[in-house]
Amino acid sequence: MSTSPNKSQFLFVFRNPQDQPEPSPEEMQKIFGAWMAWVKSLKDKGVYVTGQPLEEGGKLLRGPNGKNLTDGPFVESKEIVGGYVIVSTDSLDAAATLAKGCPGLNYGGTVEVRPIREAHGM
């Protein structure tokens, strides 16, 4: 996915505390609605590129040739990566401002905002 010459892409990585209590069905509905509204606002601003929640579990590879393999969730982590969004905007500061609207921040979560380096030829 390419961006216009004046725009860069930024990755939002959403993390939640691993020991967070499970929300009630009513709370979950409210949280889901807040997420959908926030993503819609990113789309309406024309900055949303893509994003998805992540399934629980996975695998973590370490060492030469991935010799050390761990099944998730990963005990050494105090936070669970819950999903990602990619936006296209003018600067890291602009991306961070957009990330401030993330509903997960109101529930103990964090958002890591990272510039995506364009790797020509990949």
DSSP per residue, 10-36: EEEEEEEETTPPPPPHHHHHHHHHHHH
Instruction: Please name each of the domains of the chain with its CATH number.
Output: 8-115 (3.30.70.1060)
Q: pLDDT tens, 27-84?
A: 999 999 999 999 999 999 999 999 999 988 888 888 998 888 877 665 556 778 889 9
Average of per-residue pLDDT values in the chain: 88
Residues paired with residue 48 on neighbouring β-strands, in sequence order: 87
pLDDT of residue 36: 96
Going by pLDDT thresholds of 50, 70 and 90, the confidence category of residue 88 is very high
